[in-house]
C-alpha cells in the first residue's frame, strides 16, 4: 500500500523558534499521525498480525537524500533495508552488515539483494581524500569504517565502472561511486549464505546507482560491464 505525502504546511511548533529553524523529527511525526497513519493503519495492522515477509534486502547509503521506498515505489513490509555510510558491505568478519544479510537470507529468505549507490557520495569523496588513512592505525569509528572501501579504491584504478555507451567518466568521484557498487556486489557473493543461495538460483543480486541531479536510476549489467538507465514502465492499454 502506498500513500502520497501531504503537501499541507507543517503545523507550527508549540514553542517559539527562530523563523529559520529547521523542523525537528517530532514535527514530521505529528504530520504523519494526522495525514498518513490513517492510510497506513490497515496495512500495518495486517503486517503486525502476519509478520514481515519482504522479497528483497536493500543495502544503500545513509545519505539523507536517498529514500529507498520512494526510489523503489515500495511500501511497508516490502524492503528489508540496511543503510550505512557509503553503502559498504564489509568482509564477512565484520558483523555490522552481515548480521542483517544472514537474517535476510536465512530467516526471511529474501529472493533479491540490491546494493544501491548514488552520485556525490560523501563517503567516496572522503576515500578519495585519504580519510581512511588518518588518525593512525587505531583510527576513529569513521576512518575505520571507511577502510572497508579500500577495495573499491583499488578496483577503480584498473577496472572502473561506467555508464553504457560512454567512456569511463573523467570525474574521479563519479567513477568511484559507480565502481563501489560493483565491488560491494562482489563482497556479497563472498558471504557463505549468499554464495549458496546464488548457486541454487534462489537469490538474485542487483546493483543500482541513483543520480541525484536527474533522479535517474541505473542498473548494473554484468554482461555489458556497464550501468544501464532504468526506463519507466509502460502500462499496457486497458
pLDDT, one tens digit per residue, over 69-86 is 999 999 999 999 999 999
Strand order in the sheet with 56-61: 79-84, 56-61, 112-118, 204-211, 216-221, 226-229
Full residue range of the structural domain in which residue 119 is found: 56-229
Residue 63 assigned as binding residue: yes
Catalytic-role residue among 121, 148, 151, 175: 121
Q: Count Cβ atoms within 10 A of the Cβ of residue 64 and give its class: 0-12 exposed, 13-18 middle, 19 or more buried.
A: exposed
pLDDT of amino acid 6: 41
**Would you say residue 21 lies in a domain?**
no
d(C-alpha 23, C-alpha 161), whole Å: 39
Q: For the segment 21-49, what is each residue's pLDDT rounded down to a tens digit?
A: 677 899 999 999 999 999 999 999 999 99
Catalytic-role residue among 10, 34, 41, 65: 65
Residue 151 assigned as binding residue: no
In total, the chain counts a number of residues equal to 238
Catalytic-role residue among 61, 151, 177, 191: 61
d(C-alpha 186, C-alpha 207), whole Å: 10
pLDDT of amino acid 236: 66
Low-confidence ranges of the chain (pLDDT < 50): 1-15, 238
pLDDT of amino acid 7: 38
Structural contact between residues 159 and 168, judged by C-beta atoms closer than 8 angstroms? no
Number of domains in the chain: 1
Phi then psi for residue 140, to 5 deg, are -115, 170
pLDDT of amino acid 27: 93
- Is 61 a catalytic site residue? yes
Catalytic-role residue among 31, 118, 177, 191: 118
**Would you say residue 235 lies in a domain?**
no
CATH code (residue 219):
3.40.1050.10
Structural contact between residues 191 and 92, judged by C-beta atoms closer than 8 angstroms? yes
Query: Which residue do the cell numbers 555489458 mark?
Result: 224
pLDDT of amino acid 4: 44
pLDDT of amino acid 110: 98
**Would you say residue 41 lies in a domain?**
no
Residue 61 assigned as binding residue: yes
**Would you say residue 43 lies in a domain?**
no
**Would you say residue 19 lies in a domain?**
no
pLDDT of amino acid 8: 41
**Would you say residue 175 lies in a domain?**
yes
List residues bridging with 205 in a β-sheet: 113
**Would you say residue 72 lies in a domain?**
yes
**Would you say residue 89 lies in a domain?**
yes
Amino acid at each position: 500500500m502506498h500513500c502520497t505525502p501531504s503537501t499541507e504546511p507543517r503545523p507550527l511548533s508549540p514553542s517559539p523558534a527562530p523563523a529559520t529553524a529547521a523542523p525537528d523529527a517530532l514535527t514530521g511525526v505529528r504530520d504523519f499521525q494526522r495525514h498518513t497513519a490513517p492510510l497506513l493503519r490497515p496495512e500495518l495492522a495486517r503486517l503486525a498480525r502476519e509478520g514481515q515477509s519482504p522479497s528483497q534486502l536493500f543495502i544503500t547509503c545513509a545519505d539523507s537524500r536517498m529514500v529507498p521506498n520512494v526510489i523503489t515505489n515500495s511500501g511497508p513490509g516490502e524492503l528489508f533495508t540496511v543503510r550505512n555510510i557509503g553503502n559498504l558491505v564489509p568482509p564477512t568478519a565484520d558483523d555490522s552488515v552481515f548480521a542483517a544479510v544472514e537474517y535476510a537470507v536465512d530467516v526471511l529468505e529474501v529472493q533479491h539483494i540490491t546494493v544501491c549507490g548514488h552520485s556525490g557520495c560523501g563517503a567516496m569523496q572522503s576515500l578519495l581524500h585519504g580519510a581512511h588513512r588518518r588518525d593512525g592505525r587505531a583510527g576513529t569509528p569513521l576512518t575505520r569504517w571507511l577502510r572497508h572501501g579500500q577495495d573499491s579504491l583499488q578496483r577503480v584504478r584498473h577496472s572502473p565502472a561506467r555508464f553504457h555507451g560512454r567512456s569511463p567518466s573523467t570525474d574521479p568521484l563519479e567513477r568511484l561511486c559507480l565502481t563501489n557498487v560493483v565491488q560491494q556486489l562482489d563482497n556479497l557473493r563472498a558471504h557463505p549464505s549468499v554464495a549458496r543461495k546464488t548457486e541454487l538460483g534462489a537469490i538474485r543480486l542487483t546493483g543500482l546507482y541513483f543520480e541525484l541531479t536527474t533522479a535517474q536510476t541505473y542498473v548494473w549489467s554484468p554482461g555489458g560491464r556497464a550501468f544501464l538507465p532504468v526506463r519507466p514502465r509502460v502500462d499496457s492499454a486497458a
